[in-house]
Amino acid sequence: MATPAPFPPNEKERLESLLALNQLDTPGEERFDRITRMAQRLLKMPIVLVSLVDAKRVWFKSNQGVDASEISRAVSFCGYAILQEEMMIVPDATKDHRFADNIMVTGPPFIRFFAGQPIKSPQNFNVGTFCLIDTKPREISEEDIFNIKDLAYWVEKELISERLGLAQRELIQQLNNAERKALLDPLTRLWNRDGITQVLKKQINFSKKTEKIFAIAILDIDYFKKINDTYGHPAGDKVLAEVSRRIRRASRDTDAVGRMGGEEFIIVMPDVDSKLAGEVCARILGQFQEHYFNVGTVRIPIQASIGCCLCGKDNGWDETEAIKKADKALYQAKANGRNQFVMD
């Protein structure tokens, strides 16, 4: 059995600094996924993670190449990586006494190579790691090390950047980790129905005070039942997770994205007019234009329909009525032939 890493001597202060970031158990964000995707391409790594080391777990703000959103700190490589100031590099985990019998080495994802650059909080505590993992032993060059450090520094800056919309920021700040976790959809790493409903209520309150217009868009995956029936529910789950990533990729940082249930998603867009809201909807649909998602060795055709409406002083402030209007526009998009968006 692998021996867990010892706690650093400043563990209490380190955890306080981590919690102050208000990042644990928050929805996935494209600004972090962009960095981990770039690292995958640049360094040819199958798994790249932005990890935050909590008291008993390691939680992933962004994860490429694995589905899990967190693992036990007791079996993590990151628990060791935060103990040092420089990057921790493990060329072959099977030959490292700390990890040779680790369950993530002897079993999935069969880690062999690991590189973890500590991520620092503004108070200079190691709160997590930017880590790259391969299933084959490997060495990395000095240039690779410089690239990883630069990307980790980018992550540090994003962790303290207030890019989310006011409604999401306020909700996150008001809740503790357990409360936030209860408002997340574990499959898609988006707000769940209750979470996005709370964001929407706060957005309405903000917009009432400022008299700024916002928009609601509802996206539904076309013919999703056929996908489940043809390829099975595990493939359907992978499609839902990929759809969520593509919606985040095309949305703005300030937009809030939630899964209402099943194959239906909602996007709350603050401070927009009909033109900008339409551009966001078009970008989202653009993510589906190739019509195929790769799930293992299977290519699954995907398309979606979107209904969108504006909310504001002249359009009404009632959340139920706004969702009804967006639903009506969605119904029209489907009646028009699907694979399109309609503005109410």
Question: φ and ψ at 230, to 5 degrees?
Answer: -85, -45
The dihedral through the CA atoms of 262, 268, 272, 276 has a sign that is negative
E-strand spans in 65-142?
Answer: 70-72, 88-90, 113-120, 126-134
Spatial contact of 117 and 87, defined as CB atoms under 8 Å apart? yes
How much helix, strand and coil, in percent to the nearest 5, is found in the chain?
A: 40, 25, 35
Question: φ and ψ at 57, to 5 degrees?
Answer: -145, 165
Nearest Cα neighbor of 66 from 93, 48, 42, 90 is: 48
The span from the CA of 189 to the CA of 201, in Å, is 20
The span from the CA of 115 to the CA of 95, in Å, is 15
Spatial contact of 266 and 217, defined as CB atoms under 8 Å apart? yes
Question: φ and ψ at 267, to 5 degrees?
Answer: -120, 125
Active-site option among 263, 264, 290, 321: 263
DSSP state of 183: T
Does the active-site annotation cover 142?
A: no
Spatial contact of 102 and 111, defined as CB atoms under 8 Å apart? yes
Question: φ and ψ at 102, to 5 degrees?
Answer: -65, 140
Nearest Cα neighbor of 148 from 193, 196, 88 is: 88
Preceding peptide of 122 cis, ω within 30°: no
Q: Cβ contacts of residue 322 below 8 Å, gap of 6+?
A: 200, 216, 309, 311, 315, 316
Which residues are tagged catalytic? 263
